[in-house]
A and B are shown apart, each in its own frame.
Chain A
């Protein structure tokens, strides 16, 4: 029978990544003399090496063996860990990660880095050869001639052999696997029954094995009891085959039993069909994944139990309603209503419970930062202290996978542009070490992630100047602080005199914002000069469900994501201004908010065509506010987002669809998309006018 090992590989990869994280975080915190940590770091490496060997990842085994050896020397006390060792180990962890990722994705890896680090490890360990020191598993030595040989084996166990848990009969079973076995028991040492100790062995054996196995193979069967017996293995010429074996009665049965057992064992081995489970196909998605793939989810039993309980309650409610439905008459109306309320409650709770299953603590995303900050601190020469809070705050697995990169960029940004050098800090009466704070907490139906620093803060003037230079704002414009800070997210923006390679060439912030928005979230900046800055990322707790405001335009129902809505109002004439011919602006306190009539944008019939007295839903996207003109405000509800792209295609201005309570389909508005549409239309119209004007 053959067991397909590939089914266990995902688990191995997952636990290896966990092991690497443990190694890294322990190494970062490691103090000399911290034996527990060193031991757990060693164990993690040891486990990875073992698993890699078992599942056939020889390159991982080889490399990890070196790391393990170094760790072993340290934990044994043969070597005191130095700062250099620590850095080498951290780099080694990186290498191991590369190798394991390559194994997971079936992709190439940076061989140079591995070779370099291998050399460093070998140097540190004082290993002369460049070839690996791993004892490769030796296959059975092929010394045996294919021809059968006759072996004469004398096996005299010590009396206490059984106490080790070994059973001679079973050893003979294993021996019988190698060929044809006959045996003769010698009972001359058996004491009288009354003096027998049931836990002692008084029998020795003479065995004859006809097999093509080698002496080594035979010895291997006895390897565990070598020290507890006298073992002689002699090859005998085929001509002097032993005579009829005299057997003691009881050993007769034992031989029969032993042979029978070995037959059964063989039968079992051949009958069992090969268990070959299809190894999971490596989809292209796997190869394309550059984001940290969290793989499977381990769900706590408590979450599963809660789910089961709620299911049970749902079933009860359902049968109650079902019963009410039989012979329903108007007198049962109240009961029906309360039953339906109960149903609502059940489904809500069930929904929450199901959501929780996909929720994981944000620590998975935060875990990479201690290492990142440590490395950046070294690289920039700035002393930086990282504080992480709220790492148990849970969020949806997919959201977490996608928020990683933006967060990294924000942290790099804080290190690079936020925190000042120690000199400047001291000169300003600040503590030498800068502090970067990562925090996460739930607020409303969202998760808020804060990246704060106690650095120099954002230089409003510099930002404004740069923006004017790049033509992003007019020189005369008056902007609030938050509007100025929002400029940071414009593409191509960078105030660093030299574009540092840490933060990137000003391509970072706008991508960060776009990524966050694509997750249905938003980002805000707070800053105080000299004190520091704080970036607040607001994300919905889940991707698939949206809190929406239903609105009616003509006969169609649309859904506006609640998170984008600033306010809804009825347009008053005095605040309506028409500019540039076609654009209608609504004065909302200090803002001039462009009005987008949905019916126009979507070419629909509608009740309301005039802005005056119309219903405006003011939404915000990309730092821009617009007023969407609708006919009616309907309910607010949670909707399940369904994609239009599966069977159709991307539709401009629409982010998805949902199925309403009545079974009909409603479109979910893509506010940024609609703003773009409106701007494009306006530009097209303008060029038309210009053309017309030119033609006149």
Chain B
């Protein structure tokens, strides 16, 4: 069995604002093994980024606070580590790739120096050694003329090149866990294909566990081993990638899959959107946040959050609809009819 790298249990992160308590993440649990990719998918405000930032303890406090849960990295609970020890974890054990490489790179520092800085923080290297390692890393992520490029500034890099530099920085200390937050969202699709290739290559090489946060189900299908679907700060469904795409149990997951225009659709078909608007995280119902938009909602949905229910190997769902009824409803959905045929 693969080595367990990370186990997050019942994580809740709330923001205490003047307007009220924003319940961004509510009781989220997941695990990550060596060499595995966990895709976290959800729309804006679903809590996917806050969940990842909570792992790294990067939530600004105040107003934010991890109010509940445990985050086990091996046998250490990251919630109880002191700040010094946490600094040792960031970059060294867990590294992060952000969505917007321009705002996450220092504009007035040479790219090689920025990468070297991380190395020198965690490893006992001289400046020259760190610089040389930075150049090697840049070459490894596919930047031509890495030697010359290392002494340039971020503004001299294109979007794709900057994201490569971010990846070089993230892998510089050979982290066990790599968190990629919308790593390709700001990029053109041909550049996105390049970056996905680099991330997968680095993952194979370093055997990292990757947490991939994205709203793009296409990228999820391409890169993930297992998927967590989030809505309104809750995990609504969790399972291996094939289970989520071909054996989904939650009405929100159905809704997401049905609302996508697909490049390989053979004839013009009409999309089935999810009705209504995204939830307000301050006035979330006590029960399932998807209730107001769910076509199959029932009485208890609004007031009680459904318990985790196993529906397959490592496949869980939170939904009040009884399993049998769910399968009947699903059998009538156009997109599942198609795949069954």
Q: Is B truly associated with A?
A: no
Which residues on A are within 8 Å of B, measured CB to CB? Answer: none
Which residues on B are within 8 Å of A, measured CB to CB? Answer: none
